[in-house]
Amino acid sequence: GIHVLDGCTPWPEDLAAHYRASGHWRGETFDRLLRSWARAHPHRTALVHGTRRLDRARLAQEAERIARRLAGLGVGAGDRVVLQLPNIPEFFTVFFGLQRLGAIPVLALPLHRRSEIVHLCRLSQAVAYVVPDLHQGFDHRDLATEVLKESPALRHVLVAGDPGAHTPLDGPGTADLPPAPDDASEVALLLVSGGTTGLPKLIPRTHDDYAYNVRASAESCGLGPETVYLAALPVAHNFALGCPGVLGALHAGGTAVLTDEPDPDAAFALIEHERVTATALVPPTARMWTAAAEWGDADLSSLRLLQVGGARLLPEHAAQVRDAFGPVLQQVFGMAEGLLNYTEPDAPEEIVLHTQGRPLSPDDEIRVVDEDDREVPPGATGRLLTRGPYTLRGYYRADEHNATSFTADGYYRTGDLVRRTPTGHLVVEGRVKEQINRGGDKVAAAEVEEQLVHHPAVLDTAVVPVPDDLLGERTCAFVVPAPGATAPGRGEVAAFLKERGLAPYKVPDRVEALDELPVTAVGKTDKKALTELARQLKGSA
């Protein structure tokens, strides 16, 4: 069998052999890839951030310096390190420094807070946590101090910037590094899932599978040495990291520009100044850009690829994007778990406006099934199941959850409702998973509910989506007050969840009191009825 990190599910040997024979899996680690990128074009610009520019040789040198620093602190092959950095060059010097050691980055999102980070540290038994000093007014060093108290395996907090009471990321390291691990079937990184249950899940991605994800995406999206990719979404997220993202731009011989300001004013200035050719957005940002492009006078003529994904893009909004930016729009239906669908760069308008794309790999296997896992008729809407050369076979250390998230023959149950067109494109029609998609930010209803029931005045609660013009959906929490108590209002709920360390985007947008939650015939909370009620309340508000 294949050797992978404990707690991960390998692909069966016959499929792995097929993925190798097909040339998808090439046995190259990310450490080797970075070296080959640097060797091929040492003086080409790799990363741009504000006035900082790193060429490829420099990126490789910095990664090695970080590897020495971490090795000096005792970090080694197989160790997990929670990486919570925004879109700054250090994200990549640390990412590749860890790759040099064979240590495994756990990619936390910048907005994750104590609840998520403690969970990620404990689940992965991370030995180190890497943070910025201050980011968007939030002091990550204070968060790290709290996280240290609750995470027994955590030995180091490393700060990019002013370290405060913690360890500076910059500093002396060990002189001799051990040889770089070279097994590409090993796990290279752990991505965080959008989640459906109480706590976020971790997605193991191997060198073989993720390098394929990046390479095939870069090729399919037409990236090349002239590519200047603007990372306006967090690079800790799969979309901006590797679909094709920053890694795809580097692989293709191009440059990545990093920013944390996706608003049109800042982004348009960057596009004009750096002659950006490609970028990725979630639908709400794409709509803001569209509105701004109609009025502004920035020169956006360099833009050749505008990817929009992460949440549903309505056909009329797609048409507005296309009208504002020209034929550069690409719809992307992706997931950190693996499967990626892209509309082809030369696809007819009908496809670009009305579908969410076609699977990236000829070896992506797609099934559209009913609730009994029976194939629906062609063109009918059903649940999307998938397996393939870059789709996970199991979440990390999650046996119980894996038993229901995968079929016996290894298909991942995406929880998405889709329809397949005769051309093989997928249209996302909805969802069966209890997740709210807040303009691309995923909120697991169960995670918020499990936090809210800790409030002394809350007896029971249910979180459901409400339609929203800009974000597509927002969250509504129904709360049943404890006997004798008054249900907390939204302000109280927000303060309470903040205190419990939940990421701010998970705080319910609306809070509604109810005497009791409606139940279905079998006695489960009737989320359908609540979703309908939330709609009506919104309409009457």
d(CA 324, CA 293) in angstroms, rounded, equals 6
Strands 458-468, 472-481: pairing is antiparallel
Spell out the residues 6+ positions from residue 414 whose beta carbon is closer than 8 angstroms to its own: 335, 337, 339, 383, 384, 385, 386, 433
Burial 462-498 (b: 16+ CB within 10 A, else e): bbbbbeeeebbbbbbbbbbbeeeeebbeeeebbebbe
From 255, 246, 268, select the one nearest 227 (Cα to Cα).
255
Contact 260, 252 (CB under 8 A): no
d(CA 257, CA 246) in angstroms, rounded, equals 8
Q: Which stretch binds ligand J2J (CB under 6 A): 319-327, 330-338, 447-455, 533-541?
A: 330-338
Q: With respect to ligand J2J, which residue has the nearer C-beta, 194 or 488? A: 194
Per residue, what are the HEC states of 417-477?
EEEECCCCCEEEEEECCCEEEECCEEEEHHHHHHHHCCCCCEEEEEEEEEEECCCEEEEEE
Q: With respect to ligand J2J, which residue has the nearer C-beta, 102 or 472? A: 472
Q: Does 353 participate in binding ligand J2J (rule CB under 6 A)?
A: no
Among 281, 336, 347, 366, binds ligand J2J (CB under 6 A): 336
Q: Which stretch binds ligand J2J (CB under 6 A): 4-12, 63-71, 238-246, 474-482?
A: 238-246
CB of 249 to ligand J2J, least distance (A): 14
Tokens found for residue 170: 């910059």
Among 243, 293, 321, 534, binds ligand J2J (CB under 6 A): 243
Q: Does 239 participate in binding ligand J2J (rule CB under 6 A)?
A: yes
Q: With respect to ligand J2J, which residue has the nearer C-beta, 221 or 533? A: 221
Q: Which stretch binds ligand J2J (CB under 6 A): 32-40, 218-226, 335-343, 449-457?
A: 335-343
Q: Which stretch binds ligand J2J (CB under 6 A): 34-42, 269-277, 317-325, 326-334?
A: 326-334
Strands 305-309, 167-168: pairing is unpaired
Spell out the residues 6+ positions from residue 61 whose beta carbon is closer than 8 angstroms to its own: none
CB of 198 to ligand J2J, least distance (A): 17
CB of 414 to ligand J2J, least distance (A): 5
Q: With respect to ligand J2J, which residue has the nearer C-beta, 164 or 222? A: 222
Q: Does 309 participate in binding ligand J2J (rule CB under 6 A)?
A: yes
Q: With respect to ligand J2J, which residue has the nearer C-beta, 33 or 192? A: 192
Q: Does 334 participate in binding ligand J2J (rule CB under 6 A)?
A: yes
CB of 107 to ligand J2J, least distance (A): 11
Q: Which stretch binds ligand J2J (CB under 6 A): 237-245, 264-272, 343-351, 518-526?
A: 237-245
Q: Does 335 participate in binding ligand J2J (rule CB under 6 A)?
A: yes
Q: With respect to ligand J2J, which residue has the nearer C-beta, 68 or 425? A: 425
Q: Does 210 participate in binding ligand J2J (rule CB under 6 A)?
A: no
Output the CA–CA distances (angstroms, integers) from residue 320 to 34, 48, 287, 400, 417, in the order listed. Answer: 39, 30, 8, 44, 25
Among 102, 194, 262, 508, binds ligand J2J (CB under 6 A): 194
Q: With respect to ligand J2J, which residue has the nearer C-beta, 270 or 428? A: 428
Number of residues that bind ligand J2J (CB under 6 A): 22
Among 84, 414, 451, 475, binds ligand J2J (CB under 6 A): 414
CB of 238 to ligand J2J, least distance (A): 4
Residue nearest to ligand J2J (CB): 334
- The DSSP bridge partners found for residue 70 are none
Q: Which stretch binds ligand J2J (CB under 6 A): 29-37, 262-270, 328-336, 347-355?
A: 328-336
Q: Does 332 participate in binding ligand J2J (rule CB under 6 A)?
A: yes
Q: With respect to ligand J2J, which residue has the nearer C-beta, 71 or 329? A: 329
Output the CA–CA distances (angstroms, integers) from residue 241 to 217, 233, 256, 294, 341, in the order listed. Answer: 11, 9, 10, 29, 16
From 447, 457, 445, 461, select the one nearest 488 (Cα to Cα).
457
From 353, 360, 348, 344, select the one nearest 213 (Cα to Cα).
360
From 99, 98, 121, 96, select the one nearest 108 (Cα to Cα).
121
Q: Does 310 participate in binding ligand J2J (rule CB under 6 A)?
A: yes
From 283, 290, 288, select the one nearest 440 (Cα to Cα).
283
Q: Does 352 participate in binding ligand J2J (rule CB under 6 A)?
A: no
Q: Is 498 helix (H, G, I), strand (E, B) or coil?
A: helix
Q: Does 428 participate in binding ligand J2J (rule CB under 6 A)?
A: yes
Strands 255-258, 278-281: pairing is unpaired
Q: Does 356 participate in binding ligand J2J (rule CB under 6 A)?
A: yes
Contact 221, 193 (CB under 8 A): no
Q: Does 209 participate in binding ligand J2J (rule CB under 6 A)?
A: no
Furthest C-alpha separation in the chain: 71
Q: Does 229 participate in binding ligand J2J (rule CB under 6 A)?
A: no
Please calculate the CA angle 305-308-312 and round it to the nearest 5 degrees.
155
Q: Which stretch binds ligand J2J (CB under 6 A): 90-98, 171-179, 334-342, 390-398?
A: 334-342
Tokens found for residue 139: 């002091």
Please calculate the CA angle 499-234-198 and round it to the nearest 5 degrees.
45
Residues 432-451 that bind ligand J2J (CB under 6 A): 437, 442
Helices 30-40 and 89-101, packing angle to 10 deg: 120
CB of 340 to ligand J2J, least distance (A): 6
Among 68, 431, 506, 527, binds ligand J2J (CB under 6 A): 431
Residues binding ligand J2J (CB under 6 A): 194, 238-239, 243, 309-312, 331-336, 340, 356, 414, 416, 428, 431, 437, 442
